[in-house]
Chain A
Amino acid sequence: DTGVSQDPRHKITKRGQNVTFRCDPISEHNRLYWYRQTLGQGPEFLTYFQNEAQLEKSRLLSDRFSAERPKGSFSTLEIQRTEQGDSAMYLCASTPPKKGGYTFGSGTRLTVV
């Protein structure tokens, strides 16, 4: 068990470009979450997968944001046409089938210039 893995750790992109982040959850965890954290704030819930089904996506910040978990294992978060306001830490978390505390990855820090 290597914990929740996120890649890349840091991404610098120009405004208007598309970016994609990857999350590999703990292998036996069937629930996966994406959060965004800006400076001085707590993480903000974006979306939730149970296995491959995306059961909550209304919290995604705009239609430029989308997420997938095609085989119920790893997940990707894509931001299209990035804006400077998208600069933040993007965190992935996973939980086991029974209710329990969330295990977070180290995050991907996005900087839009």
Chain B
Amino acid sequence: QKEVEQDPGPLSVPEGAIVSLNCTYSNSAFQYFMWYRQYSRKGPELLMYTYSSGNKEDGRFTAQVDKSSKYISLFIRDSQPSDSATYLCAMSGSGGGADGLTFGKGTHLIIQP
């Protein structure tokens, strides 16, 4: 079992729909959770950064972390064609940076106009 599991998709939804993306993980030492968006042949772009459990909202994006279930989610409201990209979840422990980030495989999202 990989440390971080993420459905690669593709996930195709109509414009304006609410998108739900999620990851599960096995390492209980993870404390920092991130979501990145990656367009083809580009580097990942940080969308959301959260510490421990709880919710965080930023514009059309909401990140949720449930450490008891080892489950994190990203919701995108009012989805736009420009949201079409690969979404990567990433997480790390409290190793001061030396543990790096552990990523999921990424979910390929397609927003149909």
Residues of A within 8 A of B (CB): 4, 6, 31, 33, 35, 40-45, 48, 50, 55-56, 59, 89, 91, 95, 99-107, 109
Is B49 touching A100 in the complex (CB atoms < 8 A)? yes
Q: Which residue of B lies closest to A104 (CB)?
A: B43
Is A45 touching B104 in the complex (CB atoms < 8 A)? no
Is B46 touching A102 in the complex (CB atoms < 8 A)? yes
Q: Which of B25-72 contact A (CB under 8 A)?
A: 32, 34, 36, 41-46, 49, 51
Please give me the 10 A-B residue pairs with the lowest Cβ-Cβ distance, nearest first: A42-B103, A45-B100, A101-B49, A104-B43, A101-B46, A56-B98, A106-B43, A104-B44, A107-B43, A55-B98
Write the nearest CB–CB distance from A99 to chain B, whole angstroms: 7
Size of interface on B: residues with Cβ below 8 Å to A: 26
Residues of A within 8 A of B102 (CB): 45
Q: Which residue of A lies closest to B41 (CB)?
A: A109
Q: How many A-B residue pairs have CB under 8 A?
A: 67
Residues of A within 8 A of B77 (CB): none
A48–B45 Cα distance when bound, in Å, is 19
A105: which of B43, B90, B105 is its contact (CB, 8 Å)? B43
Is B97 touching A41 in the complex (CB atoms < 8 A)? no
A48: which of B6, B32, B46, B97 is its contact (CB, 8 Å)? B97
A56–B36 Cα distance when bound, in Å, is 23
Is A106 touching B42 in the complex (CB atoms < 8 A)? yes
A45–B98 Cα distance when bound, in Å, is 10
Q: Which residue of A lies closest to B95 (CB)?
A: A56
Which interface residue of B49, B90, B98 has the most chain A CB atoms within 10 A?
Answer: B98
Interface: B101 (CB within 8 A): yes
Write the nearest CB–CB distance from A23 to chain B, whole angstroms: 11
Is A48 touching B100 in the complex (CB atoms < 8 A)? yes
Residues of B within 8 A of A95 (CB): 97
